[in-house]
Structure 1
Amino acid sequence: MSATLSVDPAGPRGWDEPVRIAVRGLAPGQPVTLRASLRDEKGARFRAHARYRADAGGELDLARAPALGGSFAGLEPMGLLWALEAERPSWRLLKRDVRTPFAVELEALDGHEPDAGRPLARAVLERRFLPPGVRRVPVRAGRVRATLFLPPGRGPFPGIIDIYGVGGGLLEYRASLLAGHGFAVMAVAYYDFEDLPKVPNTLEMEYFEEAVCYLLQHPQVKGPDIGLLGLSLGADICLSMASFLKNISATVSINGSAFCANRPIHYKQTTIPALGYDLRRTKTTFSGILDILDVRNDIVGGCENPSMIPIEKAKGPLLFIVGQDDHNWRSDLYAQVASERLQAHGKEKPQIISYPGTGHYIEPPYFPVCLASLHTLVNKAVIWGGEVRAHSKAQIDAWKQILSFFGKHLGDTQNPRL
């Protein structure tokens, strides 16, 4: 009997959905190597492999069989995805066009690498970013440049604004995946996109206020409030929005700092000065990649530092998701300082979820871990921190925490997946 490689459920699945990978028709105890590969939208190849042994019935089920080595080891049913590693040095997997899926090629080989022999079976796993029925609506309203994702159905749906960090442009894949869970999610660009500034000198809160007004005025978005989700600099923008703007009821900060980073934040008559940095404090790792953990100026005065965002004015509960090994900045320290400021002003203590062995880029589940990539601050590759397996586990749990947090504080999503 010839071997077959199957994926259950069959057919296209969302990137954040787990699947069950199995090989059948093997000899009892047969050594097998499984490979996975995909090409991103710029043609860069990502690969992962793991060594296994079939059971006494000639079956290999990744939900039951531990990997014996390779890109990972142990019982990891989705390891072939989260362990994908770019062939290009310091290359981050991004999805620019959510309307097209990634095709993950799976292959089973006889024997164990590096001496694996003939191919036994192949399959293609289609991983999509636009869930069934989710509508993608480009937004060009006033100054706002964004994309709104609306779940299937009539609505109205709880609204969320999603903002990424440095790098510019408009990243939509987290917003599109969230919309598959019943939220109306608007991914907002704020520089280096279409007619927006190439590099902003100041972060103007009035721009983001326009985005909030647009979302709340949409007939399929449930008011009177919305939620905010941000990563890195995007998290700091979200914390600023929650502090200055109206109609915010829940904010998630993923490895934010709660301080005004490298550019002033301005709203009406208020300007928060940038904390600033000194690139002379950059270090070079053994592998030659830069470490920028210590380049930011010290937060002298802690929660009374003038560069700290006035989060004691934040509307609604706050959730800080923190990677303890974040090498972009000291996210764990900043979250604690933010908590101290809130409590010093009589406000509710924020929820802080801190993940050991986890770096800066906490992405949706099963994304390959980005340990190092280009940083626009230095225009060179920097390390982001984290250990692959721990970081991957954190991404899965953080996604559950985000969905639960918004489901609790934004109300009914009309979606049974929550």
Structure 2
Amino acid sequence: MALRAAAARGLAFSLRAHSPALDFLRRQSGGGGPVVTVSPQPSLADESLSIVVRGLEPGQRVTLRAQVTGEQGCLFDSCAHYQADGDGSVDLTTAPSRGGDYMGVEPMGLFWSLSPAGIEWPHQRLEQRQVEKNPMIVEMLVHKGFNQPKSSLHGQVVAKVKVERQFVGPGVRRIRLREGRVRGSFFIPPGDGPFPGVIDMFGDEGGLLEFRSSLLANRGFAALALPYFCFEDLPVSMKDFQLEYFEEAARFLQRHPKVKGPGVGVIGSGKGADLALSMITFLPEVVAAVSISGCCCNTAADLHYGELTLPGLRFDLSRVTVSETNVYDIFEALDDPLDPANHCSIIPIEKAEGHILFVVGEDDRNWKSSLYADLAIKRLQQHGKENYKLLSYPGAGHRIDPPYSSFCLSALDRVLGVPVLGGGKIQPHSLTQVDSWQKIQEFLNMHLR
């Protein structure tokens, strides 16, 4: 009886040992089959990762694929082809991709090349708006063979892992702000402080965007994500803006006990960039400004400050062109700042006493940000000013975000309601995001600490 029971237990163990489920678990735990490891885990969204696949056959061809579901339910994915070395390993810090969505040695290529999957509408942006409670979860899979990008046919999955990308790191506090007229989210780094204070603004998408502010807080800045329309009781659209609203935000930040004074900084993209230039021009509280893909003029909406009004430089939609794939190119749509009729919209940047950093992509197709930065710098030079620095990147497009953000060649424009070309080439644009992010922090630290 005891012998039969032992034999039965042995048979059951043998069957379990060869079950597919246990085989998969064994592979994941390094028990003889392929395994993919990612470190650190979890990680900050602007942090580079070590990604290594082990346990493959020497010289084996595999496709590494990443996929993530955005907050609006769109599936984004990316893939790259690799060949294992003599030890049966693929280390993305040294191994070149041989095809897929990118080529060459790109340790974070699977992240910045994420784009809408083949079944999805293509002109969508992977953007995290709920930064505190919802980290971005990216699943990484290793498939046998070389699979084509955006294909629904993939080789057998031999290993996979989930990667958690955080926007709010340990100890960072997020405070929803309703202070006078000012709305937004205030991110405070861990520790006693005080910390350099920065106001963070985006462009015509409107609403509250927190991902850059939260990442700045992880890097030691007290950062205020500042919406200025299409949020709570703020104006519904871009029509008229009062600079006093932005002045109130700067004074709130300046007075806060966690903020190191005496001045504060501002960083803006697109429309937010020309607002940043207006702030450093007219507001003594602002001593450092970063203009990302901005204009030298006040654009779109009139800007009022006391008795002063800067008319908004207008768009002429008759100059918009449409591609065969129904993507709109608005590169020529903004009125010319050099036209004497538009000089009243030029921001008198020569009045700024603080320091300015211009960040532009030379392949920006949203508008002529390289030209606008040159015009602003010439104006400063004509008035004997040297309080500026220019970062100009070949191959970069309009939307220059923190590192490893996914590249988006065209995206739905909230105002026009159609997909608009942003420009740029995927690899140089992604390298731009890494380099500019570090230099933006260096600039802000230099002038605010």
TM-score (norm 2): 0.89
Q: Which residue of 1 aligns with 2:39?
A: 8
The corresponding residue for 1:391 is: 429
Post-superposition offset of 1:315: 2.7
C-alpha separation in 1, matches of 2:238 and 2:295: 19
Which residue, 32, 38, 61 being the options, matches 1:31? 61
Deviation at 1:376, TM superposition (A): 2.9
Distance across 2 between alignment mates of 1:273 and 1:118: 60
Counterpart residue identity of residue 113, structure 2:
A
Counterpart in 1 of 2:8? none
- Which residue pairs with 1:107 in the alignment? 141
- C-alpha contact (below 8 Å) 1:290/1:380 kept by paired residues: yes
Partner of 1:416: none
CA 1:65 to 1:201, structure 2 compared with 1: closer, same or farther past 3 Å?
same
The structure 2 residue matched to 1:43, chosen from 60, 66, 73, is: 73
Query: Contact 2:261–2:448 (CA<8 Å) still a contact in 1?
Result: no
CA distance in 2, matches of 1:295, 1:379: 16
Query: Taking structure 1 as reference, are residues 304 and 347 closer, same or farther at Cα in structure 2, changes over 3 Å only?
Result: farther
1:283 partnered with 2:321: yes
Aligned equivalent of 1:361: 399
Find the partner of 2:127 among 94, 107, 128: 94
Per the TM alignment, residue 302 of structure 1 is displaced from its structure 2 partner at its CA by: 7.7
Deviations 1:91-128 (A, max 9, x none): 01111111110100000111111475321101001001
277, 286, 289: which one pairs with 1:239? 277
Structure 2 SS opposite 1:240: helix
User: 1:237, 1:34 → 2: CA distance?
Assistant: 42
Aligned 8 A contact 1:303 1:340 in 2: no
Q: Measure the CA separation in 1 of the matches of 2:341 and 2:237.
A: 28
Determine if contact 1:278/1:297 at 8 Å carries over to the other structure: yes
Distance 1:346 1:127 in 2: 45
Partner of 1:162: 200
Change over 3 Å in CA distance of 1:302–1:35 after alignment to 2: farther
User: 1:317 aligns to what?
Assistant: 355
Cα 1:302/1:71, change in 2 over 3 Å: farther
SS at match of 2:314: coil
> Could you say which residue in structure 2 is the equivalent of 1:22?
52
Q: Contact 2:287 / 2:447 at 8 angstroms: preserved in 1?
A: yes
Compared CA separation, residues 302 and 162, structure 1 to 2 (3 A): farther
**Displacement, 1:301?**
4.8
Q: Given the alignment of the two structures, is residue 135 of structure 1 paired with residue 173 of structure 2, yes or no?
A: yes
Q: Does 1:78 align with 2:108?
A: yes
Q: How many residues are aligned here?
A: 410
Instruction: Pick which of 345-354 and 221-230 moved more.
Output: 345-354
Closer, same or farther: CA 291–372 of 1 in aligned 2, 3 Å: same
**RMSD over equivalenced CA pairs, Å:** 1.4
Higher share in helix: 2
Q: Which structure 2 residues correspond to residues 211-222 of structure 1 after superposition, within 5 A? A: 211-222=249-260
Give per-residue Cα distances to partners, 1:144-188, cap 9 Å, x unaligned: 001110000011111000011111100000000011011100010
Identity %: 46
- The residue aligned with 2:219 is 181
1:304: Cα distance to partner?
Answer: 8.6
- SS of the equivalent of 1:42 reads coil
- 1:264 correspondence with 2:294: no
Does residue 340 of the first structure (1) align with residue 378 of the second (2)? Answer: yes
Deviations 1:356-394 (A, max 9, x none): 111110011001111111113322111010011111010
Give a deviation string over 1:281-302, Cα, whole Å, max 9, x none. Answer: 1101232211011111112258
Structure 1 gaps, min length 5: 412-418
Following superposition, which runs of at least 4 residues in structure 1 exceed 3 angstroms of deviation?
301-304
CA distance in 1, matches of 2:369, 2:116: 26
In 1: Cα distance, 2:213 partner to 2:448 partner: 16
More deviation in 330-339 or 214-223?
A: 214-223
CA distance in 2, matches of 1:91, 1:271: 36
